[in-house]
Amino acid sequence: MKQEFIKFGRRLRVGMVGGGFDSVIGETHRLAFQADGHWDLVAGAFSINPVVCEETAKGLFIADDRNYTDYREMALKEAARADGIDAVVIATPPGIHNAVAETFLDAGIHVICEKPLTRTVEEARQLEQAVARSGKIFVLTHCYSGFPMVRQARELVASGALGKIRLIDMEFAGGSPGVSEEPEDLSKRHWRFQPQNGKEMILGEVGSHAYHMVRYITGMTPTRLSAFMQTFVPRREVYDNAFLNFEFADGAAGRLWSSYVATGTQHGLGFRIYGDKAAIEWHEEDGEYLRFRPLREPETMLRAGQDGTSNFVGYSARFRPGHTEGYILAFANIYREAALAIIQAETGGDSTQYTSGLPSVSDGLAGVLMIDAAAASANAGGTWVDIG
């Protein structure tokens, strides 16, 4: 793999739309794409606020002529430069993901985009077509699929070690003060809690991660769901808790719990998957470990970095056993494979060897279809609704 980077002969050039110094996730992306030294950040339209745009570009030593205030201008100018960006990272709120992504895809630039893919199913389908039309690499940063032990879980399921999957229990249920309270002054609400952005936004913000992770591990997508969603926090106008039940085509059953009011839980992402031979369990707060419980044998604790894993799981763990890695290197795994996929695409190679392990535009569409069905189900009193 190092050979692929050496043969390509240079770092990939990347730009950012969103992710300004005022944002939640911008710095995480920068840390992740700098982890392996495969990317140079050379351009950006970092914020909707021109002052933040300027401060972010200055702080990151972006050349003045590549500090843009409009992403459309950025796409046009970068596409016209001999040393233009190879890829753009979209780290804006979801309402404009599709417009930004389509602009860069149409300009011939690869896209790495934050989740949820889009706000509506229509936008998601349109974006899926734009990706196909462009022939460019599109990676969705469902970053948790970069955890070595999540990848180990996927391999265990594929190996048949769990037998036939029966029950899938996924959750992303936190309750830190930042999400479990509304500000006194409602005009200070974060966009996540503004009703005009969708009453069911919780499913895009947190539920979509757990939903993608379980689809990634099991390869199974539910066919229908029933949603039971509530609003607990005073003055709040969007849902802050969601219980979804799922049916799968082969008879398996699942449930997804998303919450902002799981008081005292800081993050709360995890899964339990039960087959007829064994079960697995993982929680991000303890993300170096995957519990494996065979029916008639003692429980085993699998650990990131240990011997005996596949190459894919082994290379996803960057340190020797005993050192904690966590979130940032899981995110960096997504960026490393995105870089490799883009290099393959740019040199006429086979990018699918890398994209097959990465969250795609179709994964994004699957998430938006789930959210759409959940909203319809909740509005109809929790009735069963087909997904997509």
Ligand X SMILES: NC(=O)c1ccc[n+]([C@@H]2O[C@H](COP(=O)([O-])OP(=O)(O)OC[C@H]3O[C@@H](n4cnc5c(N)ncnc54)[C@H](O)[C@@H]3O)[C@@H](O)[C@H]2O)c1
- Does position 91 bind ligand X by CB under 6 A? yes
List the one residue from 12, 42, 96, 153 that touches ligand X (CB under 6 A): 96
List the one residue from 13, 115, 154, 215 that touches ligand X (CB under 6 A): 115
Contact (CB, 8 A) for 56 and 18: no
- Does position 281 bind ligand X by CB under 6 A? no
Name the one range near ligand X by CB under 6 A: 87-95, 175-183, 307-315, 349-357.
Answer: 87-95
Q: How far apart are CA 84 and CA 63, in angstroms?
A: 13
Pairing of strands 300-303, 385-386: unpaired
- Residue 16 pairs with which residues in a beta bridge? 44, 89
By beta-carbon proximity to ligand X, the closer residue of 207 and 275 is 207
Tokens of 227: 């949603």
Contact (CB, 8 A) for 39 and 68: no
Peptide bond connecting 116 to the previous residue in cis, omega within 30 degrees of 0: yes
Name the one range near ligand X by CB under 6 A: 47-55, 76-84, 336-344, 351-359.
Answer: 47-55
Q: Scanning residues 141 to 200, which ones bind ligand X (CB under 6 A)? A: 141, 143, 191
Strands of the sheet containing 269-275, edge to edge, are: 300-303, 289-294, 278-283, 269-275, 165-173, 253-259, 241-247, 224-230, 385-386
- Does position 258 bind ligand X by CB under 6 A? no
Name the one range near ligand X by CB under 6 A: 41-49, 120-128, 250-258, 318-326.
Answer: 41-49
By beta-carbon proximity to ligand X, the closer residue of 92 and 259 is 92
- Does position 89 bind ligand X by CB under 6 A? no
List the one residue from 23, 152, 258, 316 that touches ligand X (CB under 6 A): 23
Tokens of 233: 């926090």
Q: What letter does residue 204 receive in the DSSP assignment?
A: I
By beta-carbon proximity to ligand X, the closer residue of 86 and 205 is 205
Report how many residues bind ligand X under the rule CB under 6 A: 25
Angstrom distances, CA of residue 261 to CA of 141, 173, 181, 192, 210? 25, 8, 9, 14, 17
By beta-carbon proximity to ligand X, the closer residue of 47 and 258 is 47
- Does position 76 bind ligand X by CB under 6 A? no
Judged by the rule CB under 6 A, the positions of this chain that interact with ligand X are 17-20, 22-25, 45, 47-49, 52, 71, 91-94, 96, 114-115, 141, 143, 191, 205
